[in-house]
């Protein structure tokens, strides 16, 4: 667990102090509240820096006795929050095309739909979602079974605007394997997709047409 604690602190330490309340609410709900973290920092007379706040958060979270799997899930959610809060990645765009006539998928269940799409192709994936206002951020980590055990591939991130009528989605990083795009499109109820010329770091601006 020591390695996970370091990764936990390092990932959480990337956020600005002003972002901590929202991040803690998204990732931990009532299990780790911002007010409790602030009180602990004041009691210990520590400086309110991101690295210090991350250390205190880690200490308080450890007191809830999370399992290794629970801690790893929280770290992955923090990674997804990092992507959604900090526009420093280069995003590419696809337009979803040819909707299935008999499907009306819901973004509320997008995680289940993506997992189901992977299972249809005899693949497994960990899928997580974070919603910020009208934007839905999704992280997909494909799992592959090897002789040495289960291997987790690098995460692929998607973002869509639930209020946007046109079926566009952005993804990062650039992909050589089309499977994530195909399965993501299928999970959202589309048979195909086409590449769009839109790309950049300011995804919210592109998704507010």
**pLDDT by residue (tens digit) across 109-130?**
899 999 999 999 999 999 999 9
H or E element that contains 98: strand 91-99
pTM above 0.85, yes or no: yes
- Residue partners of 12: CB distance under 8 A and separation at least 6: 23, 50, 53, 54, 57, 58, 78
Identify the pLDDT of residue 133.
86
Q: How confident is the model at residue 71 (pLDDT cuts 50, 70, 90)?
A: very high
Distance separating alpha carbons of residues 137 and 25, to the nearest angstrom: 16
Q: pLDDT tens digits for 162-189?
A: 887 778 999 999 998 899 999 999 999 9
Domain positions in the chain are 2-84, 91-206
**Residues 73-97: tens digit of each pLDDT:** 999 999 999 999 998 899 999 999 9
Task: Check: CB of residue 160 under 8 Å from CB of residue 133.
Answer: no
């Amino acid at each position: 667990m020591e390695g996970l604690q370091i990764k936990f602190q390092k990932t959480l330490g990337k956020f600005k102090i002003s972002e901590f309340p929202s991040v803690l609410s998204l990732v931990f709900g009532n299990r780790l509240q911002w007010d409790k973290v602030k009180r602990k920092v004041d009691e210990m007379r520590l400086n309110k820096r991101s690295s210090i706040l991350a250390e205190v958060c880690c200490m308080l979270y450890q007191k809830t006795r999370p399992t290794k799997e629970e801690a790893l899930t929280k770290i992955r959610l923090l990674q997804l929050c990092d992507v959604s809060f900090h526009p420093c990645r280069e995003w590419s765009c696809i337009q979803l095309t040819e909707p299935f006539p008999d499907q009306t998928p819901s973004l509320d269940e997008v995680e289940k739909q993506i997992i189901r799409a992977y299972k249809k192709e005899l693949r497994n994936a960990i899928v997580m979602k974070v919603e910020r206002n009208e934007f839905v951020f999704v992280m997909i980590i494909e799992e592959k079974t090897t002789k040495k055990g289960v291997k987790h591939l690098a995460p692929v991130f998607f973002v869509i605007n639930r209020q946007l009528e046109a079926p566009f989605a952005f993804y990062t990083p650039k992909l050589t394997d089309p499977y994530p795009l195909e399965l993501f499109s299928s999970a959202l109820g589309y048979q195909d997709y086409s590449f769009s010329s839109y790309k950049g770091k300011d995804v919210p601006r592109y998704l507010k047409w």
